[in-house]
Every structure is written in C-alpha cells, then in structure tokens.
Amino acid sequence: MANSKYEYVKSFEVEDEVMFPNLIIIRIHGRDFSRFSQVHKFEKPNDETALNLMNSCASAVLEEYPDIVFAYGYSDEYSFVFKKTSRFYQRRASKVLSLVASFFAAVYVTKWKEFFPHRKLEYAPSFASKAVSCASVEVLQAYLAWRQHDCHISNQYDTCFWMLVKSGKTLSETQEILKDTQKQQRNELLFQQFGINYKMLPVLFRQGSCLFKTKVEETVKHDENGNPVKRLRRRETLVHSENIAGRSFWNEHSSLHKDLGHFAKDIGKIEPDYVKSFQFESRLLPLTWVVVRIDGCHFHRFSEVHEFEKPNDEQALKLMNSCAVAVLEEFQDIAFAYGVSDEYSFVLKNKSELYKRQSSKIISAIVSFFTSTYVMRWGDFFPHKNLKYPPSFDGRAVCYPTSDILLDYLAWRQVDCHINNQYNTCFWMLVKSGKSKTQAQDYLKGTQTREKNELLIQQFGIEYNSLPVIFRLGSSVFRLKTQEGVAEENGEVSGKQVEAEVVVDYSNIIDQCFWQQHPHILSCS
Ligand code: GTP
Ligand code: MG
C-alpha cells in the first residue's frame, strides 16, 4: 500500500512563518472563562488564588521554552514574548501558538489541586491563543502599553461593577450606572460610595504580573570540603510594575534589552494602527473542509517515560480516543476525527462558521481542550501510573476544497498508520527476539508489505491481519445518527433522527463503503 498516491494532499498546507526581524508574541486567554470562573466560584472581580495559578502556569511556560524571555498577564490572559533571535519551531505561527496554549492548559489542570485543594475541577479548561508579530521593539512597547492599559481599564470597571452588585443593584442597573463613565468618575464612585481608594488596591489586580528571567546565584552542590559550589542560573522572576512599557522599567533589566532591544523613549498615546495589527485575525477559506491535525510533542520521550507498551499501548490509544470523543461533544461543527499514535485529525464541516473561521482560535481551542482533557482523564486509563510531567500537542489547520480531496487526506493518514504499524510490529518483534535496534533496522530496510507479513508469520507465527484492528486501522470518531420509529397521531410510524451519539470505530476509511454507510458525516447540510 504505497502512500504516494495520496501524498499530494500535503501541498494544501500553507506556510505561516513569522519572518525575521519580527518579534513573536503569543497571547493566550481562557476560553469562556466567565462560565469557568462562575462554575468554580472564583471571587469577583479578582480571585487572588486563580491569578496565582495563572502566574504559576506562565512561569512553567517560561521554564519549558527558554526562547520565551518575557511574559505579561492579568485576569485570564497571558502574553509570551520570544527573544528576537528565536527559531523555535521554525517560527511557524500555528505550531508555536498551539503548543503554548496546549502546555499552558496541561499545567493549569496539573496545578489546580495545589492552588484549590478543596475545590474539584469540574470540567476541562481551555485557552484560545494567537500569534502577534511586532516589526520592531517600538511596536512591542506599544503592545505592552496596550495590554497594561486594558488591564487597568477592565479592572477598574469590574471593581465598580461588582461593588455596585454587592451593594444590592441588579446587573442591568449596574450596567446603566457605569455606561459611558470615564476613569475619573469611576474612581470617584469607588471612593464616595464605598470608601475605596483605587490606588490602594493590590498591585496584582491593578497592574497585572510580569515574568522574566534574571540571573541568580544558586548552590548546585558542595565540594569535598563542604563548601558550596555556586553557579549563575536563569530563574523566572515575578514582578509588578506600574508601567511595563516605560523606559525606566525596561532598560533597568539587562536581560530584556539584550534579548529584545532598548526602549528609546517613553510613549504617550498608543498608535491606533498598531492596535489594529495586534487585533488582526486571519481566517480560513470559506466553504472548504478544515482539518485541524494535532500531534503529541516529543511523544517518543513521553511514551518511554510512561512505559507505554511497544509498539502500541492500547490504553494510551484509548485515552487519545476518549479525548477525541470529548472534543466532538464540545465542538458540534466537527464532523469526523481520525487518530493514530500520538496524532488526531479533526474535520470541521465545510460550512462551519466556528469562531468566524479564525484559524488561531480554532486550532488553539481544540488543541488545548484536547490536552487538558488528556491530563484530567489520565488516571481513568492509567490508574496505577502517575503522570510524570504535563504532555503537550501542537496543531495546524489545513483547508481542503472538496470532499474528495478530504477523503484522500484521510486515506493518506490511514495508509501511514498501516505502514508505520506494520514496520513497528516487525521492528519490536525482532528487538524482543534478541536483535539490536540497528540490526532490526538493517533487516527491515527496503522490505515491502508482503515481505514484512511473511517475516511476521514465519519467524513469529503472527498473522498480521489478526492483530487488533485499533492498531492496524487507527480510530475514527463521529456521530452515529440513528433512525427511531415514532408512532404518529394518524397511526403511521415515521422515522425521526434521535440525538446523535459520538462513537469510536475502527473501520477502513479508504473504502468508499464506510462513507456510503454513514452519508450524514460529510453531508453539506
Ligand atoms: P514530535 O511530534 O516531532 O515532537 O516528535 P515525537 O517524539 O512525538 O514523534 P512522532 O510524533 O513522529 O511519533 C510519535 C512517537 O510517539 C512514536 O515514534 C513513538 O515513539 C511514540 N508513541 C506513540 N504511540 C505509542 C504507543 O502506543 N506505544 C509506544 N511505546 N510509543 C508510542
Ligand atoms: Mg509527535
């Protein structure tokens, strides 16, 4: 089964590299966190513990990705700035933004218990992310000023809002009172009605939080005489500052101007054209089938550390499938998903208007939701194995103009599953029988499907086609629409579509029969 017939589908992938000398910023924010904060009873307008959890996750991001040298966050958002020389993931925007959202979501779930030991995490949190490119350090300065200005304005508004609500006003009365008010008026309202001096509120709420790396001296070991051996280490430092876009703050920290550049002067008004560029969102071609493919990051290592069975770990695959089912339940516009190994492809209906087809939002929402679900459900599939570190997935979106090309894409993935699985089965059988990894590789070099099948049967008595179908064909996830007989008033029985259940199936999806059996999956309605 050669894959070359289908490989042309790769040509639909588009480049999205952030070119030099642009600086890369990835901004993430909680997806529907107004609901998330309500369900989890966060204090209003600011929940200090929730903010500390956000800061702790951001710190883990800085530690994980050394190219990120500065971060700024408030409420449920965080911006991560990459050093100007970064070549992280070849500067591919989708990969970088999805990876950051994915890792952040995984850490958020992992650390939840530490920050909220007595509160259950009710459902998987997820984050939308986007990449912003800044043509110069001056534009970065404007970006930071813009975010901190937003922090100030929204915090001041929310403080007034919740004080009024707590004092007995209804939500609509409160909105009416605050409509068209200016900063000064809101400060006066707080002071006169509630005796609150806005400036005295905690800096964490008013100014947001900055994270960057500073060099600190750390004792790494003791020498034979018991004297401490010290080394300079880069550590994440959390600070609050009134004006993160100010020269004095920025230029005071040598690591920041070394990695990102100097702020030549202080800025007053933020250039509206810059803000327009920060808000720009690119959209996926209308009426095309969109495939969001996610792939485990360094799962070679992840599967070693977690002692996955080789070549296939059924529990690991079932955990992936369970997350894919959750994704289909969460996003109604996803018609179909196909998964193999550490990857999953999600197919969005061609008519989908999810997030107005904004590509970063779609990719990041799916990838981060998948990741946080993976962490939350880990224990259900591996009750006797601890998750040693948070996994992460990268994502990309590709548009296919017709359903025929989409089916070729899916066929490409299923052929790949077959080729890899057959190779890996032979490889690990040879290794388990005593060959070294290099010997096994040499042995299999240039062998065709038939020869590999023969090797399995002759040397190991394994009939390839009798191996579990989940390993050989991968997993398909879709809604199963069934017709239910309903008795009508006139005594006739008519067919009625019942609530569609999301199912996992291990079919041959290269075969047209599958699509003929489930015509609703790709129907354009
Ligand atoms: P990047 O995706 O580039 O970050 O690298 P990766 O290490 O994730 O490799 P890739 O995605 O190309 O391949 C997935 C890897 O995950 C495989 O090569 C295996 O090492 C590992 N893997 C996936 N599923 C299983 C499994 O069921 N059992 C075992 N033992 N390993 C698995
Ligand atoms: Mg991978």
Tell me the per-residue pLDDT of 248-265, one tens digit each, with 9 for 90 and over. 999 899 889 899 999 999
Taking CA atoms, 352 is separated from 71, 346, 348, in Å, by: 34, 13, 7
Is residue 194 scored above 80 in pLDDT? yes
Q: What's the average model confidence in pLDDT over 424-440?
A: 95
Q: Taking 70 as the threshold, does the pLDDT of residue 495 lie above it?
A: no
SS3 38: helix
Query: Tell me: the pLDDT tens digits for 439-470?
Result: 999 999 999 999 999 999 999 999 999 999 99
If we measure between CA atoms, which residue out of 309, 275, 323, 339 comes closest to residue 146?
275
The helix/strand/coil state of 519 is: coil
Band (485; pLDDT cuts 50, 70, 90): low
Q: Is 102 in the pocket of ligand 1 (CB under 6 A)?
A: no
DSSP secondary structure letter of residue 311: S
pLDDT band at residue 500 using 50, 70 and 90 as cut-offs: confident
CA distance 325 to 336: 10
pLDDT of 359: 98
Distance CA 125, CA 119 (A): 14
Q: Is the CB of 339 under 6 A from ligand 1?
A: no
Amino acid (one-letter) located at 75: S
Q: Point out the ligand 1 atom lying closest to the alpha carbon of residue 304.
A: 30
Any residues with CB less than 8 A from the CB of 128 and at least 6 apart, and which?
Answer: 28, 29, 31, 101, 355, 360, 361, 364, 365, 368
Do residues 23 and 67 make contact, with C-beta atoms less than 8 angstroms apart? no
Helix axes 403-432, 437-444, angle to 10 degrees: 130
- Record the pTM: 0.94
Q: Is the dihedral of CA 108, 33, 211, 113 positive or negative?
A: negative
Nearest CA to ligand 1 atom 28: 312
Q: Are 459 and 433 in contact (CB under 8 A)?
A: yes
pLDDT value at position 490?
Answer: 62
Cβ of 312 less than 6 Å from ligand 1: yes
Structure tokens at 305: 């550390």
Provide the pLDDT confidence category of residue 492 given band limits of 50, 70 and 90.
low
Q: In terms of DSSP bridges, do strands 209-222 and 228-239 run parallel, antiparallel, or are they unpaired?
A: antiparallel
What are the tens digits of pLDDT across the range 87-99? 999 999 999 999 9
Phi-psi region of 359 (alpha: psi -120 to 50; beta: other; left: phi over 0): alpha
Distance from the first to the final alpha carbon of the chain: 34
Most ligand 1 atoms within 8 A of CB, residue of 303, 304, 382, 424 to mutate: 303
Tell me which ligand sits closest to the C-alpha of residue 318.
1
Domains of the chain (ranges, CATH numbers): 15-209 (3.30.70.3000), 289-481+499-521 (3.30.70.3000)
Query: What's the token pair of residue 270?
Result: 């933020």
Cα(345)–Cα(337) distance, rounded to whole angstroms?
A: 5
Token representation of residue 467: 């191996």
Q: From the CB of 314, is ligand 1 less than 6 Å away? A: no
Q: How far is CA 108 from CA 269, 325, 392, 513, in A?
A: 35, 21, 12, 43
